[in-house]
Chain A
Amino acid sequence: MSLTLIVLLPFAGALLPAWAARRSRSASAWTAGAVAAASFALLLARAPALFAGEVARAAWEWVPELGLRASFRLDGLGFLFAFLILGIGLLIVLYARHYLGAGDAMGRFYAYLLLFMGSMLGIVLSENLVLLLVFWELTSLTSFLLIGFWSHKAAGRQGARMALVVTGGGGLALLAGILLLGAIVGSYELTDVLAAGEQIRASPAYLPALALVLLGAFTKSAQFPFHFWLPHAMAAPTPVSAYLHSATMVKAGIFLLARLHPALAGTPEWFFLVTGAGLATLVVGAYVALVQHDLKALLAFSTVSHLGLMTALLGFGTAAAAQVALFHVFNHAAFKAALFMNAGIVGHETGRLDLRRLGGLRRYLPVSAALAVLAAAAMAGVAPLNGYLSKEMFLAESLDLAELRALPWLVPAIATLAVALSLAYALRYVVGVYFGEPARFDRPPHEPPRAMRLPVELLVGVCVAVGLMPMLLAAPVVAVAARAAAGGGAVPELHLALWHGLNLPLLLSAVGLAAGVVVWRGAPRLERLHESALPLPEAKRIYDRALEACAAAARWLTARLESDSLQRYLALLLATALVALAGPLVAAPVEAGDAPRIPADPLSLAAWVLLVAGALGTVLRHRERIVAVVLVGVVGLVVSLAFVHLSAPDLALTQLAVEVVTVVLILLALELLPRRTPVESSRARKLRDGALAVAAGAAVGWVSWLLLTRPFESISGYFLAESKPRGGGANVVNVILVDFRGYDTFGEITVLAIAALGVFALIDGLGLPNAFRVAPDDEARHPLMLAVVARLVLPLALLVAVFLFLRGHQHPGSGFVAGLVVGVALILQYIASGIGWTRTKMPRDFHPLVASGLLLAGLIGIGSFLFAHPFLTGWFDYFTLPGIGKFELTSALVFDLGVFLTVVGGVLLILVHMGKAAESDAVRLPETGPRGE
């Protein structure tokens, strides 16, 4: 359980800082920090067991039929990443408290940050691959919110959208890849997938699955040529950049490569795709970083470059190289977070991020300068810092490479070049900001608040300490992660040390660093060359153009499909349905079935004539709207009579009550709609519509006939047999509604409540005056006789409703019917006495009624959890009281009460607001005449 809590706590606590922000900004930061710290503590509490070799698991069934389980695991790999996510996350919380200005919504920021943190933790602690994907996409969504946090800035919005499109699109590819893997292995559980490496690599679907998974990983980790979103994401507030681009978001792709390493790695395809992309990214990122002016852009491209390094190492496909990659993940997180925060401090104190307008800051910010020098040296791989260790190991691994026998020098040469470029851009950052010609400032900048610098100090401390004591501080956690990434395969003993003797990697390193100084010296010239002579295709422009083309294609298609005419849509829809139905209808047996028929009696025939007359009359007289409403009412009444005759008393009651309410409703609406429909359809149009109507009617009538004349096996035997013993009610229809299929009914009253709220919202939006006028002609509009009768009827109607409600479980009647009867009786008061009068006697607001009905039905459903039964399990028992005799108590009655309250509230909410609109003169419009008048 505590394993799942690590992931769930940030989600559960995401709203707390937003709530605390109402008190104070510090309260908000403290709450966010407390949530993250709680999660961190749970993680650390599991460390001893983990280092003892235990892999913790926790699982809940989700959709077992599809192989979906909500299952989590904590192994070394997950631990390393979760440690970084939470550890650096805590530092970011502290840093952001002072970084964000007074105008920034701090509560919202921390809420997003915690959601993102939870999503990241979900990725690294998922056992089920589909669950992993869900969290993967959640990071895309939450990072969108974080990157676009300054939504007033166009760059922020665009950067957020670009990150979402690229990483979200990659997520779709990953989904397809995961489905392929699941199809090969037959399970989405990581334990099974990782154990099935041989099987996966031998499968014909290996290559497509690999390509799709890599697409997901490369887009997330900003590998070339998908690297372009990362620098644009720098429009985010710096704490976001520091978090997303050091320890989390972009590391998710690296994590995925390491996670699936045992399943996918070790083939030539893996080597060439992964190492190829990694090396290209390593060099391109480093080169572009060298020619940036913006501090954050420089760091962004250096991140791209370092991600390339880790990817390349994972591409080598050996356990040893993967171990080095994981060590570099750790190191990079420390020095890059420190550098981003440092850049944020520079921006915060000077308001500038452009290298051309900075310089000599070491006089004003001596401590920050020292910290920046150390962090940048770690990034460049200078001894004795942590970056040096992983860089040396990278060089050593590149020399050990077994593939590429034809060109053994190629990878080491690229690695050495990258070392040189890395030192050059590190120098450019440090010298450009803190040394050299001092920039002019109107107000001399000063050191930031201590709390803002503290995270940087801690991180730089980590860089130094790990460099000096790697075996003590880093080796255990890296080794346990590497063992997990090897999936049970052998991992060489991890030996971290500054001094390995005079060897080839050391030589390459020295050559690289020396070349780096030369490159740095030439950087200004390179920059000019880059800007004038090298017309490199700019990725953003290509992306923009592709996006524009997509939008244009969508517009073209929409214009083709949409004519903005409902009549045309409906006609097309019906015609399509008829055409689709034609085939099966022609193939269907022509003759009627042989089920026993019921002879028609004269009364039924008369009802049929009435119904047909009503329906056809509605069509013929539909222009006179009031007449048409009456005719539709006739049809409705005949339908309820049909239900009575055809053994469905509950339906007849409900239909009757609904009929009354509907007619009242339509008449109210007619107050605001024209009373007549103008003539405007052409003759051809009428013929077309008539033909469609006749065809549809004939088809449905024919199908009904074929259906009705055939015998069938009902599935209702169960309900009939179990209604009394298990539902405790004799009225099977009611027992189905409130017990067997109670969940459906719950959904249904929810829909009714939503419809009622929708009606309310639509009428409320009209901006009607709140006060009701009591017109002088009120007497005339509300005749005395009607008012008196209505008031007399009310108690009677309420009594009938109670009767219908209570007997519902055993005899025809139910919460629905009772609710409708009460609704009609109350509406009658409004009609008889006017809204103004009735409002003084009744609650003004029916929302609470609807809400309490839904709540009651939901609570009684949840109540069955207390007895370890599924949602809405019914309960009943018989009791005997002296004087009353034996009676039954059932939970279904309470559920039905919820239904009743929702129906009453919903009906009143709809009718009263409709009446309110109808009584108001503010919205009355002149009659619309026929066209052309």
Chain B
Amino acid sequence: MELLLASAIGVLVAAGVYLLLRARSFPVILGLALLGYATNLFLFASGRVRVGLWPVITDGMKEYPDPLPQALVLTAIVIGFGMTAYVLVLALRARIELGSDHVDGDADDADRGGAP
């Protein structure tokens, strides 16, 4: 299970980073979303994973999963939504004002950044 989770985080980061580096705003937003999943899972993993438990105090229960990362991730999910919404509208506004959805604002000059 640990291997599955770690590799899933890796794949999500790789996919997110690749999309983040695209030239149009929309793939960048999708990349941010994937990176968001990866970050939340990573944060969650810092409390280690347990199967079949319950972070709710129950009589007779001896073991609980770590509730603190869960609380942090819950916050992160909601903030992530706020950010996605804001970036989306920013992309929208940029496209309407500039007539292009290129991340640098002009499509004609798309590749001038060049490789570092």
Chain A residues engaging chain B, CB cutoff 8 angstroms: 563-568, 570-572, 574-575, 595, 597-600, 604-605, 608, 611-612, 615-616, 618-619, 622, 625, 628-629, 632, 635-636, 639, 642-643, 645-651, 654-655, 658, 661-662, 665-666, 669-670, 672-674, 677-678, 680-682, 684-685, 688-690, 692-694, 696-698, 700-702, 704-705, 707-709, 711-712, 714-716, 719-720, 723-724, 730-733, 736-737, 741, 744-745, 748, 751-752, 754-756, 758-759, 762-763, 765-766, 810-812, 814, 816, 903, 906, 910, 914, 917, 923, 925, 928, 931
Contacts and interface: CB of A to CB of B under 8 A. Distances in A.
Given A642-B5, A763-B89, A690 B18 contact: yes
Given A571-B116, A646-B44, A650-B74, A682 B111 contact: yes
Interface string B78-116: 111111111011111101100111011001101111111
A298 to B, nearest CB: 54
Contact of A714 (B1, B47, B85, B86): B47
A619 B35 CA distance: 13
A852 to B, nearest CB: 18
Contacts of A680: 23, 110-111
Residue of A618, A685, A731 with most partner-chain B CB within 10 A: A618
Tell me what chain B mostly uses at the interface: helix, strand, loop, or mixed: helix
Interface of B: 1-30, 33-34, 37-38, 40-42, 44-58, 64-68, 70-71, 73-75, 77-86, 88-93, 95-96, 99-101, 103-104, 107-108, 110-116
Q: 6 closest A-B pairs (Cβ-Cβ)? A: A701-B10, A697-B14, A565-B113, A755-B82, A568-B113, A693-B18
A892 B49 CA distance: 28
A566 B103 contact: yes
A595 B34 CA distance: 28
Nearest to B1: A598
Nearest to B108: A931
A572 B116 contact: yes
Contact of A651 (B1, B70, B80, B92): B70
Given A662-B81, A714-B66, A763-B89, A575 B116 contact: yes
Contact of B93 (A570, A650, A762): A762
A670 B73 CA distance: 28
Given A677-B24, A704-B9, A639 B41 contact: yes
B114 A568 contact: yes
A595 B48 contact: yes
B2 A635 contact: no
Given A622-B27, A625-B26, 7 more contacts: A605-B4, A678-B24, A704-B10, A708-B45, A752-B79, A812-B56, A923-B96
A597 B2 contact: yes
B51 A645 contact: yes
Residue of A648, A655, A682 with most partner-chain B CB within 10 A: A648
Contacts of A625: 26
A888 to B, nearest CB: 14
B19 A619 contact: yes
A622 B86 contact: no
Contact of A599 (B1, B27, B111): B1
B23 A681 contact: yes
A654 B80 CA distance: 12
B70 to A, nearest CB: 5
B33 A632 contact: yes
Contacts of A705: 2-3, 6-7
A199 B48 CA distance: 55
Contact of A733 (B10, B24, B55, B96): B55
A635 B68 contact: no
A716 B44 CA distance: 13
Given A572-B116, A647-B53, A755-B83, A928 B15 contact: no
A83 B7 CA distance: 72
B45 A733 contact: no
Given A604-B1, A684-B115, A714-B66, A759 B74 contact: no
Contact of A600 (B4, B25, B27, B65): B4
A418 B77 CA distance: 72
6 contacts: A565-B112, A570-B20, A636-B37, A647-B51, A763-B89, A917-B92
Nearest to B106: A564
A595 B30 CA distance: 35
Given A605-B4, A646-B51, A696-B13, A751 B82 contact: yes
Contacts of A635: 12, 34, 37
A925 B92 CA distance: 11
A696 B17 contact: yes
B42 A651 contact: no
B9 A701 contact: yes
A821 to B, nearest CB: 13
Residue of B50, B70, B84, B108 with most partner-chain A CB within 10 A: B70
Contacts of A766: 93, 96
A648 to B, nearest CB: 5
B23 to A, nearest CB: 6
Given A639-B41, A647-B65, A917-B92, A622 B19 contact: yes
Residue of B47, B50, B81 with most partner-chain A CB within 10 A: B81
A761 to B, nearest CB: 9
B17 A719 contact: no
Nearest to B93: A762
B90 A762 contact: yes
A110 to B, nearest CB: 39
